[in-house]
């Protein structure tokens, strides 16, 4: 059997809102949502090393894989939260989520997703479709002029599995810092003084929702505040910091091992 290695070239991508009539969903989602469909289009080329010759195995790009997922628009407020949601999908699509091109796609999904909220065509819809397409040319380098067995899918699966097992290259916070640097606070209501200026009993929350679980930080409930002053449900931020040492809003760095 001839030995073979693989490389990716000619990577291109586009993220766009398709010109389709929005679907009506029942029951209506409680918050604005993005329905993202990710397409991987593949073209294969074989490179014979001994004679330095390239042969196209496909006439054109063809659909290799695709997946659709729906999530709340508020997720896009945080890059880390968006990455945490999209990385497992990319792995299932046999794409390394930590490579330069997929990270650029995630940036574009955030930009496009945030822009659809202001589009007049989306005013009546609670679920907004978004498409992301990635074109990839896989080059199979072989040492002999004949190679019968196609190992492309296996190679891609091994690469994706490696990043999945490494927790998508996310580094957890030091356990002692989670215990010592998170401060327990009580969510307080906003009051107004006679001049109409807002003041707060203890502190002003920047958002009414926990950006990790997207559920409300209810007045009177207990929460946890990071050193950067961003506040979350206690269980949410502790679980988050066991996966990533960054604040999900401002990327403040907690100590690591």
- Cβ-contact 26, 5 below 8 angstroms: no
For residues 151-163, average pLDDT: 55
Q: Which of 52-66, 120-134, 142-156 has the lowest mean pLDDT?
A: 142-156
Query: At residue 88, does pLDDT exceed 80?
Result: yes
Q: How far apart are CA 92 and CA 253, in angstroms?
A: 29
Residue 197 has pLDDT above 50, yes or no: no
Are 211 and 180 found together in one domain? yes
Q: Which residue has the higher pLDDT, 118 or 256?
A: 256
Q: Residue written as tokens 């497992």? A: 88
Is the pTM here over 0.75, yes or no?
A: no
Domain hosting 227: range is 175-241
Looking at the fold, whether 184 and 103 belong to one and the same domain comes out as no
Q: Which residues contact 223 (CB under 8 A, 6 or more apart)?
A: 184, 185, 186, 187, 210, 217, 231, 232, 233, 234
Number of domains in the chain: 2
Q: Is residue 213 part of a domain?
A: yes
pLDDT value of position 109? 92
- Looking up residue 229, the CATH number of its domain turns out to be 3.30.40.10
Please compute the mean of the pLDDT values over residues 202-228 and round it to a whole number: 75
For residues 163 and 56, state if they share a domain.
yes
H-helix or E-strand spanning residue 225 = strand 222-225
Supply the pLDDT for residue 68.
Answer: 92
- For 253, other C-beta atoms within 10 Å of its C-beta total 14
Confidence of residue 189 (pLDDT cuts 50, 70, 90): low
| Residue 123 near residue 117 (C-beta atoms within 8 A) | no
Q: What is the pLDDT of residues 28-56, one digit of tens each?
A: 667 788 899 999 888 888 777 766 777 77
């Amino acid at each position: 059997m001839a030995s073979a290695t693989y490389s990716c070239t000619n990577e291109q991508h586009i993220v766009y809102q398709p010109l389709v009539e929005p679907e009506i969903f029942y029951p209506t989602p409680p918050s604005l949502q993005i329905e993202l469909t990710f397409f991987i289009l593949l073209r294969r080329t074989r490179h014979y090393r001994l004679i330095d010759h390239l042969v196209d195995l496909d006439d054109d790009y063809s659909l290799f894989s695709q997946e659709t997922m729906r999530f709340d628009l508020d997720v896009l407020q945080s890059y880390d939260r968006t990455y945490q949601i999209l990385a497992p999908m990319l792995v299932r699509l046999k794409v390394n989520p930590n490579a330069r091109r997929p990270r650029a796609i995630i940036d574009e999904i955030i930009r496009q997703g945030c822009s659809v909220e202001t589009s007049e065509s989306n005013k009546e819809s609670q679920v907004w479709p978004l498409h992301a397409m990635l074109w990839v040319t896989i080059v199979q380098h072989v040492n002999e002029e004949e190679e019968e067995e196609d190992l492309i899918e296996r190679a891609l699966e091994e690469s994706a599995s490696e990043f999945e097992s490494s927790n998508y290259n996310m580094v957890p916070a030091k356990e002692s810092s989670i215990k010592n640097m998170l401060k327990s606070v009580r969510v307080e209501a906003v009051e107004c003084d006679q001049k109409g200026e807002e003041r707060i009993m203890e502190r002003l929350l920047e958002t009414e929702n926990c950006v990790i679980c997207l559920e409300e930080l209810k007045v009177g409930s207990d929460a946890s505040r990071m050193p950067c002053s961003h506040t979350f449900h206690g269980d949410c931020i502790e679980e988050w910091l066991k996966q990533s040492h960054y604040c999900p809003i401002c990327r403040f760095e907690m100590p690591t091992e």
